[in-house]
């Protein structure tokens, strides 16, 4: 049970217990000279009594048990829904992260098309050609894109 649901359950239980112990007591309504309204089972000095609050009816133990069971069931359902929601949020975050890694890998591949300094060497005819380092870097960038795509597909398929 989540903390909020536990607190609600215990508050309901306390109210049920309190109303059970208050049965038979008459609560009176008083108005003080300054206009405040006070409810008490004892006379209030300087205040005038303007009414009474009838005690609550006796609570059937079977009805109380049904109410507690229903409250417990609703709390468990709420906990289950909260857990499912948290799991769905975590899955969505994993998907977003995998999509971000794929986008970053694609951007690195696209931005890495231009040779870096030292990845081009001159030829005897005065032209230039790309070095093996350039092609290795391109292959590494392509592998990074494929790896990121595979990770995204795994997350979308429900794996990690």
Distance CA 116, CA 111 (A): 11
64 close to 18: Cβ distance less than 8 angstroms:
no
- 3-class secondary-structure state, position 28: strand
User: Quick one: pLDDT at residue 4?
Assistant: 67
User: Quick one: pLDDT at residue 158?
Assistant: 84
User: Is the pTM above the cut of 0.85?
Assistant: no
Please report, in tens digits, the pLDDT of each residue of the chain (160 residues total).
566 666 666 656 666 555 555 456 788 999 999 999 998 988 889 999 999 988 778 888 999 999 999 999 999 999 999 999 999 999 999 999 999 999 999 999 999 999 999 999 988 888 889 999 999 999 999 999 999 999 999 999 986 6
Backbone angles phi, psi at 134, to 5 degrees: -60, -50
Distance CA 160, CA 156 (A): 9
32 close to 44: Cβ distance less than 8 angstroms:
yes
């Amino acid at each position: 049970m989540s903390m909020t649901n536990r607190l609600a359950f215990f508050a309901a239980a306390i109210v049920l217990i309190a109303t059970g112990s208050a049965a038979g007591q008459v609560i009176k309504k008083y108005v003080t000279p300054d206009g405040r309204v006070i409810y008490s089972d004892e006379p209030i000095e300087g205040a005038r009594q303007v009414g009474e609050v009838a005690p609550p009816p006796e609570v059937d133990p079977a009805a109380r048990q049904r109410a507690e069971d229903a409250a417990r069931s609703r709390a468990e359902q709420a906990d289950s829904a909260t857990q499912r929601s948290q799991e769905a949020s975590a899955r969505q975050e994993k998907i977003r992260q995998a999509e971000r890694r794929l986008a970053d890998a694609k951007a690195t591949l696209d931005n890495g098309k231009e040779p870096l300094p030292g990845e081009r060497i001159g030829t005897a005819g005065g032209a230039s050609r790309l070095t093996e380092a350039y092609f290795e870097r391109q292959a590494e960038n392509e592998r990074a894109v494929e790896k990121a795509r595979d990770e995204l597909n795994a997350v979308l398929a429900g794996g990690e």
